[in-house]
Amino acid sequence: MKVDLPVSAVVGLVLFTVHPSVCSPQSGHESARDSVAASPYLPLGDAAYALIDALQTRGALSSVSMLERPYTIRQIDRAIESDSLLDSVKLATEVHLTRMLNRYRPRTIADSTTGLRVLVNGEVYATAQSSGRRELMLGDSGSGIYPGVLARFFVQGGPWITAVRIDGDSRLKHDPEFTGRVDKKIAGRMEDAYVAGQWRFGEVFFGRLGRNWGPPFVDGLLLGHYAYSYDHVALTLGVPRLHLTTIAARLDDRQISVDTVAQRYFSIHRLSGHWRELEVAVSEAIIYGGRGRGFEPKWLNPVNGFYLSQLNESPNLNGSSGSDGNMSYGAEASMRTARFGILSGQFQLDDIAVNSCDSFCKKPPSYGVTLGADGIGIPGGERVGDPRAYVWYTRVTNLAYRNATSFEQYMVNNIGLGRGFSDYDEYRIGFAEIFASSLPVKAYLAERRQGEGDYRIPQPPPSQFSVTPTFLSGIIEHVSRIGVSGAGILSNGFGFDADIGYNRTRNADHVPGRSRNGLEARLVISLQLPWILARDISLAD
């Protein structure tokens, strides 16, 4: 995509289109017709999630999953409508959240059950940052101020929704993990582009959309949001309380020799259950591929056991004509409590052996774990709007996501499909508050240990297993950070998304004795534009 907008044109567009009514003319919740209509997803990273998090940790929006995102607009609307808490602070916050969601809500076709809804809107924004790398705990020197422009397009009719979100962002040119074209004035990509059919007992999805499975305060271990969005197909069977979701994607090819290219594929499925205050899920994932290899039905079957297929059909185990892959397994749980907020955890494990396995069993354990409590009540704070505390810890071991076969690494375009880093642990403690019923802010203290392990390189040969550390290999980089973060959109359409803090780094860049201390921050200021187009197209005779 080419976007060549001079600064003067952007400024002129902003001045011309600024209007205090940046929210949808549809200010209420969904109509009767909406109950059978498809709904767009609220993209991960949207400022509305900061407000959703704040409400969930205070006991609200209990009907939506704590372990599976993104949400559709309809899911959030229904959660707000069914909320039984009556605290005035929370109600004002929900009103503001509803207003924020209207950027993704196509208008209602009055007194009509047939027709299309079309919505086109967008925003202009600027990013000021001290680091080109998105992970500020490991910030680099890519500082600057970069303009951007974003456009959204929706067409909804009956149970079908088509959504496109195009992002032209010059910040991408300075991100060392972005693999797209950076030789233009402004880099651009399709962040969202999907067609979905949604029914009472399931959904079919094709396109690209960021997803995260696991506790929301950190990227999921098996399916995370650190990688830039990629095209995939998804099938969901069941209802929100009990459902099975399968995702399959064609990943980027990998050059394995001078004249040989390996095709790469990703499949993951997850069974999730939600009963009262408890939510649990289990997952299986596989990366497979090779020269001339295509999608294989056994890895696309939503109710097939991936582990059993690999165990019984892999030539590496019993000499059959089947084929192998890089398997991973996961489990998640979340519990809402009155005193300690939301308790949640996730566990990921690579490689399981049930029979004799010789050198394989000498491989250091490969796993990831996340534990957290969010929304812990503070003594004396009895109201919904009072500050809450949170704490979480996560660890990913040295060989997690890695495989002896280079094209079976757990990544897409050199970024992890789960976490963006391995061989590290981090804890974070802090306090959260909602200011003016609309602006959630967190103050926190974080500590990170980062080893030299990297999922981008193959695992060592079996002969090196005995001397390979399970966790924190090589020179360990230590990072301490104190910071404040928050996101929100004001009633006049101006928004912000900020994470500002001070880092103290020892053994910086894994060099013994090297220190790097200073401000590491990212601030995004945005302006929501009024509708370029908001129209209902009746299909009635």
Q: What is the pLDDT of residue 382?
A: 59
Whether 177 contacts 189, CB under 8 Å:
no
- Residue 167 reports pLDDT greater than 80: yes
Higher-confidence residue of 491 and 283: namely: 283
* Homologous superfamily of the 7-537 domain (CATH): Capsule assembly protein Wzi (2.40.160.130)
Quick one: pLDDT at residue 406?
83
Worst-scoring range by mean pLDDT, 107-121, 127-141, 284-298, 520-534? 107-121
Alpha-carbon gap, residue 117 to 140, rounded angstroms: 44
List, for residues 107-165, the tens digit of each pLDDT value: 544 434 467 888 899 999 999 999 999 999 998 888 999 999 999 999 998 899 999 99
Instruction: pLDDT band for 34, please (50, 70, 90 cuts).
Output: very low
- Under 8 Å between Cβ of 448 and 394: no
Other beta carbons within 10 Å of 201: 9
- DSSP state at residue 376: E
Q: How confident is the model at residue 313 (pLDDT cuts 50, 70, 90)?
A: confident
Give the tens place of pLDDT for each residue, 428-476: 999 999 888 789 999 999 999 999 999 998 889 888 988 999 999 999 9
Give pLDDT tens digits for 418-430. Answer: 999 999 999 999 9
Q: Taking the CA atoms of 165, 168, 174 and 180 in sequence, report the sign of the dihedral they define.
A: positive
The least confident of 45-59, 76-90, 244-258, 346-360 is 346-360
The 3-state secondary structure of 419-467, one letter per residue: CCCCCEEEEEEEEEEEECCCEEEEEEEEEEEECCCCCCCCCCCHHHHHH
Residue 285 contacts residue 247 (beta carbons within 8 Å) = no
Classify residue 296 by burial, with Cβ atoms within 10 Å: 0-12, 13-18, 19+.
Answer: middle
pLDDT score of 540: 57
Q: Taking 60 as the threshold, does the pLDDT of residue 5 lie above it? A: no
pLDDT in tens, 496-505: 999 999 999 9
Mean pLDDT over 62-78 rounds to: 93
| Cβ 324 vs Cβ 304: under 8 Å | no
Q: What is the pLDDT of residue 30?
A: 44
Amino acid identity of 30? Answer: E
**What is the phi/psi pair of residue 187, to 5°?**
-80, 150
| Domain coordinates in residue numbering, the chain | 7-537
Given this model, what pLDDT does residue 6 score?
38
pTM: 0.87
Give the residues across from 289 on adjacent strands: 264
- Residue 353 has what pLDDT? 54
Residue 86, pLDDT score: 47
Residues 367-381 have a mean pLDDT of: 88
